[in-house]
Chain A
Amino acid sequence: MQPTAGRKSFPTYILVFLAPAILIYTIFMVYPLVNSLRLSFFAPNAARQEIFVGLQNYVKLFTDDNFAPRFRGALVNNFVFFLVHVLVQNTIGLLLAALLTSGIKGSRFYRTVLFLPTVLSVVIIGFIWQLILNPLWGVSESILDLVGLGFLFKPWLGLPESALLTVSLISVWQWIGIPMILFYAALIGIPDELIEAARVDGATGWHVFWRVKFPLVLPTVGIVAILTFVGNFNAFDLIYTMKGANAGPEFSTDIMGTFFYRTFFGQQLQLGNPSMGATIAAMMFLIILVGVLVYIFSFQRRVTSYEL
């Protein structure tokens, strides 16, 4: 920074450069968001006019016999969905990144292949996995048979106890490329001298990873975790594609996104309920906001970032 910069008058051209982005962002993001929050404080009366009802929609969401169990169910399922991603997607992502940077043969090829599902359409992913897991003509049963484990096959997507886990793992399979590439970028950013120095000091590969590399990628772990959190609590498309808006069986795959969709737009003979839908959307916004704030104040500000 030049010390003279602060003395200059406010650089108006910055406004000009920002204007298009701010304009578009305001029209298509900020305004709808604010309007949706506003809608959550309104409800239609008998004459279908919107009237202000204060926090009544929220009370209904938390206490009403129709909404409260669905809201709790969706919230719990969403946390399970998130936990599976954190535990499976992010750890495997880190592992794969570590393998890719270890100079393994064909790492470029694997890097591309592992990232590939991320760029595919969710609809295609959902369709392919439904075919693979299909009990009538899917290949998963025959593959299990080949290794003598055919008896383990179940219609996982259709059973209440396994449907959510199955959908979560399919989502993990699709998105694993994102944490992998972020960790990969962080790992290749670590200078060789550090690792060589550790080796000279007699550190094993295990030690090098946990004592040298891992602390250096810790900020990335945080970023990946918060990206996963935001992504998971906004998730909708994969479950909608595979299980429909009713998120069956028995709402076992129902997450906030599908709950919101069903409520807002209605379903078959159920007319949409925009104000309750907006209330659910506001809760999603609140959950994500709290998550991001927790991340910023308890993680990002405390974790040590090393200048390399």
Chain B
Amino acid sequence: MRKHTIFVFFVLIALLLASCGQPAATEAPATTGEQPVATEAPAGEKVTLTIESWRNDDLQIWEDQIIPAFEAKYPNIDVVFAPTAPAEYNGVLNTKLEGGTAGDLITCRPFDASLQLYDQGYLAPLNDLPGMENFSDVAKSAWITDDGQNVFCVPMASVIHGFFYNKEALDKLGLQEPTTKAEFMAVLEALKADGTYTPLAMGTSDMWEAATMGFQNVGPVYWKGEDGRQALIKGTAKYTDEPYVQTWTDLAEWAPYLPEGYQSVKYPDAQVLFTSGQAAIYPTGSWEISLFEKDAPFEMGIFPPYLPNAGDTCYISDHTDIALGMNAATAHSEEAKTFLEWVASQEFAGLYSNALPGFFTLSNLPIELEDPLAKEFLSWRDTCEETIRNSYQILSRGEPNLENELWRVSAAVMNGSLTPEQAGQEIQTGLDSWYEPSQ
């Protein structure tokens, strides 16, 4: 009897092991799909393309607006939008690509995350894709090899930094949209003296707001946008230089106008503070448009980053954020290219920018926007010089990581625990420790 039971147990364990091993065996055929097999679907047969993305918020927009518009034009291609949670996207995508189970089209994160995928051969080069000529060099800079030779994703959208404000609050005190720094500080001072509104809605607890919505928002006007950014990459400019120290000085000057206890105020707190009408001005970016228009019961206005002196050229951070590339191992490369070509077209540019107000197409083709705030954001492209966040290209490859360090020191400057000079020194020392051109 006992022997019998032992036997049964071992059989069970053997079965368990066998079932554990099985998925590996069934996965094997899938990996052979890595080589682009020449078995293209015969003409007339429907092909299904799958899009990998982290934009699960946009699922409905893709399913209801974008994909139907494409399928109406190309009836023999089915497109499926299959997003993953943003925080898991990079990890999940890497695993899928390694296992050969990733979708045909890959939504590209800007800069190094996608560059790494291209270097590993997971993303196909798209140099000769028709429609690529519709994008400027700045637009393509996030998805191009360091030597500028190979583009591997079609730029989809950017976000523009600026300030939102509560029109009621400014009107009540008879204040105008500020254009220069002096005017900006005067508006803040007037709001503070009045006391009804928190002048500036922002906290430093999450740190990235200080860097992204503070430093990268008002800084480009000091470091002259692309000139300054390129100079940092070439190593001819340093974070200890006057423009950068000046930017941090500005942030330190904002501190008295922030909500009480701003050191532990988080991003959602600041958003609610503004949309509930308790704060007057909110430094941020165009991605807030949909949420704010939904939540804020008052009339909102926007103004671009202020100028040091009246009449100076204005600079905006028009940050490349999202693009679409092709899985090098896709079995349907022709159809995938057809889709990407359409993504580079004017039709997609208009559809996407209108469906997601605040995410602007990077295409040079003219589009008509319906949302007034989005329209105003976009109009700054005509009047101001554009640049992207200066830590994103190349400079965040080493340790310590420049972007993380910018978060830390920018928050510390606003908290008063670092001086602007110390902040510049710490950033530059960190960069010098690994980045050769700056040494």
Q: Which residues of A contact B (CB under 8 A)?
A: 12-13, 16, 19-20, 23, 48, 65-67, 130, 133-137, 153-160, 243-244, 246, 248-251, 265, 267-271, 273
- B412 x A249 contact (CB < 8 A): yes
- B111 x A269 contact (CB < 8 A): yes
Determine whether B327 belongs to the interface, using a CB cutoff of 8 Å to chain A. Answer: no
- A158 x B262 contact (CB < 8 A): yes
Specify which of A130, A137, A154, A269 lies most central, judged by the most chain B CB atoms within 10 Å of its CB.
Answer: A269
When the two chains form the complex, which single residue of B112, B391, B400 contacts A66, counting CB atoms closer than 8 Å?
B400
> Assuming the A-B contacts A13-B2, A244-B206, A248-B205, are A271 and B113 also in contact, with contact meaning beta carbons closer than 8 angstroms in the complex?
yes
- A155 x B262 contact (CB < 8 A): yes
4 further contact pairs, Cβ within 8 A, besides A66-B430, A158-B264, A158-B415: A16-B9, A136-B265, A154-B261, A158-B263
- What A residues does B10 contact at CB under 8 A? 16
Interface residues of B in 407-434 (CB under 8 A from A): 407-408, 411-412, 415, 417, 430, 433
- A271 x B112 contact (CB < 8 A): yes
Q: List 9 tightest A-B contacts by C-beta distance, closest first.
A: A135-B261, A158-B263, A158-B264, A155-B261, A155-B264, A270-B401, A269-B396, A269-B403, A157-B264
- What A residues does B6 contact at CB under 8 A? 12-13, 16
Interchain CA distance A154-B430 in the complex, whole Å: 32
- A248 x B408 contact (CB < 8 A): yes
Interchain CA distance A155-B203 in the complex, whole Å: 11
Interface SS majority for chain B:
helix
- What A residues does B91 contact at CB under 8 A? 265
Interchain CA distance A65-B426 in the complex, whole Å: 12
Chain B, 365-405, contact with A by CB distance < 8 Å: what is the 0/1 string?
A: 00000000000000000000000000110001101111110
| Total of A-B residue pairs, C-beta within 8 Å | 116
- What A residues does B207 contact at CB under 8 A? 244, 246, 248-249
Determine whether B228 belongs to the interface, using a CB cutoff of 8 Å to chain A. Answer: no
- B9 x A155 contact (CB < 8 A): no
Interface SS majority for chain A:
loop
Interchain nearest-CB distance for A261 vs B (Å): 12
- A270 x B408 contact (CB < 8 A): no
Interchain nearest-CB distance for A23 vs B (Å): 7
- What A residues does B340 contact at CB under 8 A? none
- B264 x A134 contact (CB < 8 A): yes
Determine whether B358 belongs to the interface, using a CB cutoff of 8 Å to chain A. Answer: no
CB nearest neighbor in B for A19: B13
When the two chains form the complex, which single residue of B265, B397, B403 contacts A155, counting CB atoms closer than 8 Å?
B265
Interchain nearest-CB distance for A77 vs B (Å): 15
- What B residues does A157 contact at CB under 8 A? 205, 264
- What A residues does B9 contact at CB under 8 A? 16, 19
Interchain CA distance A158-B411 in the complex, whole Å: 10
Interchain CA distance A62-B254 in the complex, whole Å: 39
- B417 x A249 contact (CB < 8 A): yes
Interchain CA distance A288-B259 in the complex, whole Å: 42
Interchain CA distance A185-B204 in the complex, whole Å: 45
CB nearest neighbor in B for A131: B269
- A269 x B13 contact (CB < 8 A): no
- B404 x A250 contact (CB < 8 A): no
**Can you list 8 A-B pairs with a CB-CB distance of less than 8 A?**
A66-B400, A130-B266, A134-B261, A136-B273, A158-B415, A243-B205, A244-B206, A270-B401
Specify which of A48, A153, A246, A248 lies most central, judged by the most chain B CB atoms within 10 Å of its CB.
Answer: A248
Interchain nearest-CB distance for B65 vs A (Å): 30
Interchain nearest-CB distance for B417 vs A (Å): 6
> Assuming the A-B contacts A13-B6, A66-B400, are A249 and B263 also in contact, with contact meaning beta carbons closer than 8 angstroms in the complex?
yes
Interchain nearest-CB distance for B8 vs A (Å): 10
Interface residues of B in 175-221 (CB under 8 A from A): 203-208
When the two chains form the complex, which single residue of B266, B402, B404, B433 contacts A246, counting CB atoms closer than 8 Å?
B404
- What B residues does A159 contact at CB under 8 A? 263-264, 415
Interchain CA distance A243-B408 in the complex, whole Å: 12
- B433 x A270 contact (CB < 8 A): no
Determine whether B133 belongs to the interface, using a CB cutoff of 8 Å to chain A. Answer: no
- What A residues does B263 contact at CB under 8 A? 155, 158-159, 249
Interchain nearest-CB distance for A174 vs B (Å): 19
When the two chains form the complex, which single residue of A12, A20, A66, A153 contacts B433, counting CB atoms closer than 8 Å?
A66
- What A residues does B120 contact at CB under 8 A? 48
Interchain CA distance A267-B87 in the complex, whole Å: 10
Determine whether B260 belongs to the interface, using a CB cutoff of 8 Å to chain A. Answer: yes
- B205 x A158 contact (CB < 8 A): yes
> Assuming the A-B contacts A13-B2, A159-B263, are A268 and B403 also in contact, with contact meaning beta carbons closer than 8 angstroms in the complex?
yes
Interchain CA distance A137-B278 in the complex, whole Å: 12
- B401 x A135 contact (CB < 8 A): no
- What B residues does A134 contact at CB under 8 A? 261, 264-265, 269
When the two chains form the complex, which single residue of A20, A249, A265 contacts B411, counting CB atoms closer than 8 Å?
A249
Interchain CA distance A13-B411 in the complex, whole Å: 62
Interchain CA distance A115-B319 in the complex, whole Å: 49
- What B residues does A153 contact at CB under 8 A? 261
Interchain nearest-CB distance for B219 vs A (Å): 17
Interchain nearest-CB distance for B129 vs A (Å): 27
> Assuming the A-B contacts A155-B262, A155-B264, A155-B265, are A249 and B204 also in contact, with contact meaning beta carbons closer than 8 angstroms in the complex?
yes
Interchain nearest-CB distance for A278 vs B (Å): 16
- A158 x B417 contact (CB < 8 A): no
Specify which of A23, A66, A67 lies most central, judged by the most chain B CB atoms within 10 Å of its CB.
Answer: A66
Determine whether B95 belongs to the interface, using a CB cutoff of 8 Å to chain A. Answer: no
Determine whether B56 belongs to the interface, using a CB cutoff of 8 Å to chain A. Answer: no
Interchain nearest-CB distance for A242 vs B (Å): 9
- What B residues does A137 contact at CB under 8 A? 269
> Assuming the A-B contacts A135-B259, A246-B207, A246-B404, are A158 and B433 also in contact, with contact meaning beta carbons closer than 8 angstroms in the complex?
no
Interchain nearest-CB distance for A119 vs B (Å): 26
Interchain CA distance A269-B433 in the complex, whole Å: 18
